[in-house]
Amino acid sequence: MKQISFGEIAEFRNGLNFGKDSHGMGCLIIGIPDFKDRFYPDYSSLGEINPLGIIKEEDYLRKEDILFVRSNGNKDLVGRSLYIDKDIKAVYSGFCIRARLTSSVVDPLFCAYYTRSDRFKSSISTSGGTNIQNLNQGILANVKLPLFSSRSQKQIAKVLSDLDAKIEVNNKINKELEAMAKTLYDYWFVQFDFPFDFAQGIPDVNGKPYKSSGGKMVYNEELKREVPAGWEVNSFSDWIKNDKSGDWGKETKQGNYVNKVSCIRGADLNGLNGNGEVKSPTRFILEKNNHKLLEVGDFIIEISGGSPTQSTGRMAFIIEETLDRFENPLICSNFCKAVTLKDKNALYNFAYEWNRLYDAGVLFGWEGKTSGIKNLLFESFVTNHKVAIPDSKVMDLFYDYAKPIHAQIQTNLKENQKLAELRDWLLPMLMNGQVSVSEAEERLVHDSYREVAE
């Protein structure tokens, strides 16, 4: 197959370095965190900088630019790419390199997908050394790109981008579903306007908003606010039946370590919730530790880790559809703790109240340090932090509302996982010419019919 050097068809430009006083206004900026587990940037979550008159027109990104991680302490991130798929007023940090095609010989989208292939990763590693920590323009310029016909390039890019488009549709659906459930939670349990049948004196989906309609409120001294009459004020521990410690097991089967599991770490919690990939390692645990396996209704809470800007206490919960995403039983790592509730119908109330406090930064106040590592003072927090505990009938109504929403979210994530696996399998096969576009399309049709059949 014919090849062409990246440097023959593209120009490269390093990003700019901005001081701390540059943040907060001006234009969007793409930095290292925006590269993780994405092909296109998540434009809605980009940071902002104040350009202060130092940015030239050529510093701004354009549609069809490709960005690379130039330098990072995590060598696995170096060389990772992002494709800019629309015009946007944005710049990129000094830890990045931009490639802008100057020739129509190579299709920009095809080129962007090639930069995600193992052949590309191998090329930059060979050029820069096996322990590459920094990428530079010279290394990129020397990378050889396969020179398919223009028609073939566009066909290959379309096959791969169609898979990514379906993943993105599922992600958007999930965000909308999650927003619906969160809005209802806030309306019912923060504003206290859950539906209430005043004639019968019970919560009812066809009732009127409780607080707005004059429902009786009682001031609580511990919370320093009013709560609906009849609601208790207690700690999270009042909801908890028991907890399970984590288990790291062994990397390979050995001795009595024979039970194969997938181990959920703190780094996997966002992916479990649908905000990234889950890369839980396979481990082997003792049979006597099977009581630590995660079950439907369990919560996984990160008790060690965090960062200066992120507290410990990240959380995910397990439902049937979550378990369906994995081939192995699940367990959490030693840096996490699993929690089981007394009442399964309290699942979503516990989850949304915990996340509400986490998002508000409350858990920063319940951390200690050991050898420089932050630890969540879990027992102290769940025992001493007071929360309003709703009437069980209101929780039942919310459980019935939230359950199908989260089942759909996890089902979509399982589909995304299959789509990503298929894309990642097709990518090198198409780039190497081992699979034709027609064969790839047949595979897509076959998998679609199989999914419908299942």
- Alpha-carbon distance of 373 to 102, in angstroms, equals 48
Tell me the pLDDT tens digit for each residue of 118-127: 889 888 876 5
Tell me the pLDDT tens digit for each residue of 235-271: 999 999 999 999 999 999 999 999 999 999 998 999 9
**What's the mean per-residue pLDDT of the chain?**
90
Q: Could you tell me the two tokens for 28?
A: 């969007």
Q: Residue 21 CA to chain centroid, in angstroms?
A: 29
Percent of the chain with pLDDT over 70: 94
pTM of the model as a whole: 0.88
Q: Which residues, in sequence order, are bridge partners of residue 101?
A: 10
Q: Per-residue DSSP letters for 408-429?
A: HHHHHHHHHHHHHHHHHHHHHH
Contact yes or no for 201/369 (Cβ under 8 A)? no
- Alpha-carbon distance of 410 to 324, in angstroms, equals 9
Shortest CA distance to 278 belongs to which of 290, 286, 289, 270?
270
Of 272-276, 341-345, 359-363, the range with the lowest mean pLDDT is 272-276
Q: What Rg value do the Cα atoms of the chain yield, rounded?
A: 25
Q: What is the average pLDDT across 179-207? A: 96
* Beta pairing, strands 202-203 & 195-197: antiparallel
Enumerate residues 6+ apart whose C-beta is below 8 A from 122. Answer: none
Q: Work out the pLDDT band at 73, boundaries 50, 70, 90.
A: confident
Tell me the pLDDT tens digit for each residue of 46-61: 888 876 667 788 888 9
The structural domains of the chain, ordered by start, are 3-146 (3.90.220.20), 234-389 (3.90.220.20)
